[in-house]
Structure 1
């Protein structure tokens, strides 16, 4: 039976790369997007070109009220596309990287960070668990910034730190169902995250490259295939871990 993964925020960036990496390893994917329906459909077509199945579903990862209806859409897609009632893997990737100093962080910005990166991960997982097959896998995305401090990311790093603690509790509570849960923490990556600063600013790119043992910043292809491999049977005994994928950033 084919494995089916839900990858949140997979119309672009690391989520897109992860969805494609899963397909290349023989998995099918439910792609989610917030507002970029055309980009999500393009990812679906790329996955289908690989020979795998995919559907795109809209999801606001920061609005808990929508999670019940989203689970209903997942249930319908599973039946219509795969003739199944369950999926196997959940990658909680959706997010954003607004940068502000501690003194300039507004309550609205803080709440947005919590809603998307922590509250959303908690309650979306809760809503989808009845549809997840026993023996499945969950990967929560964190950040190298929970270990290496960089000014301007205090709220972002703090909520990602909360996700790392949540991951261990998920692993403990879901272990009876054979569900393994891990955190993947990327370092600085060339995407549109944070306004594309690492990708588009030579100075920012060099700053993080100089902090990294391998002498460069990351690219999406450094992350997506690693997440896809973590979902496989090859890594079935990896559980409750924070795995940093940063090229040795800040060591």
Structure 2
């Protein structure tokens, strides 16, 4: 008679998990039975509040500080992840990576400064590339990666040239990740949100009534998105039923600019 051993609880690492889309994704994953390592840059108290919410859902979570724009700090962060896995899960690896963290800059092509460009580059492109590289030795084979992009790579709105260019590069990078990580059984996809009511970019979509009305009018479903419209999409891509989706860009915009 053989004794079956239960499969280990999957663990997801979500950057920028203290608020907005990252927080919503963490909660959706917890409801799916996934444990979470979430990162934060400045909002430690908010991150611990998310940990408490996940704990209340019956799952385990840990919050770690990380600046995704500071690649020299990634090696130390990798060690923190290794230690957290050993201490909290008696594990050497995690299963899912969500590259979500980042900042927004709204400036025209002519007004974008080199400092703003470098900030976007470091956080949204260089950070995604080298953080993933750092964490891959800690990822289990058969895992999944979701990179968060934007609807602005498909449609153009003035003021977002640099931001959208970085996200466009991430979409290309995603296909290369999928190709190179295929031998390890790791699937890699992009989720591209449309306009969402969060505090991203100073909360413009949420707080500027004129902008909100304009974007709602350009969306087939007649409104801008909420974080809960996105977290479920990301969590779904990480679920076992969607294991065969790979190297795809999934836009979750409610049908913007059709």
Quote the residue 1:238 is aligned against: 245
Count of residues paired in the alignment? 251
Q: Offset of 1:219 from its aligned partner?
A: 0.2
Q: Offset of 1:201 from its aligned partner?
A: 1.1
Quote the residue 2:84 is aligned against: 77
Q: Distance in 1 between matches of 2:214 and 2:171?
A: 26
From 89, 109, 112, the counterpart of 2:96: 89
1:220 lines up with 2:227 in the alignment: yes
Q: Offset of 1:246 from its aligned partner?
A: 0.2
Q: Offset of 1:81 from its aligned partner?
A: 0.3
Q: Can you give the 5+ residue segments of structure 2 that lack an aligned partner in the other structure?
A: 1-7
From 185, 206, 210, the counterpart of 2:213: 206
Which digits, 9 at most, give the CA deviation of each residue in 1:62-121, with x for residues without a partner?
Answer: 010000000000000000000000000000000111110000000000000000000000
Describe how 1:102-117 pairs up with structure 2 within 5 A: 102-117=109-124
Aligned residue for 2:205, secondary structure, equals helix
Q: Offset of 1:11 from its aligned partner?
A: 0.4
Return the TM-score normalized by structure 1.
1.00
Quote the residue 2:172 is aligned against: 165
Q: Offset of 1:250 from its aligned partner?
A: 0.6
Describe how 1:124-139 pairs up with structure 2 within 5 A: 124-139=131-146
Aligned residue for 2:251, secondary structure, equals strand
Aligned residue for 2:95, secondary structure, equals strand
Based on CA coordinates, which of the two structures has the bigger radius of gyration? 2
1:8 lines up with 2:15 in the alignment: yes
Q: Can you give the 5+ residue segments of structure 1 that lack an aligned partner in the other structure?
A: none
**Once superposed, what is the RMSD of the aligned Cα atoms?**
0.4
Which digits, 9 at most, give the CA deviation of each residue in 1:101-149, with x for residues without a partner?
Answer: 0000000000000000000000000000000000000000000000010
Quote the residue 1:19 is aligned against: 26
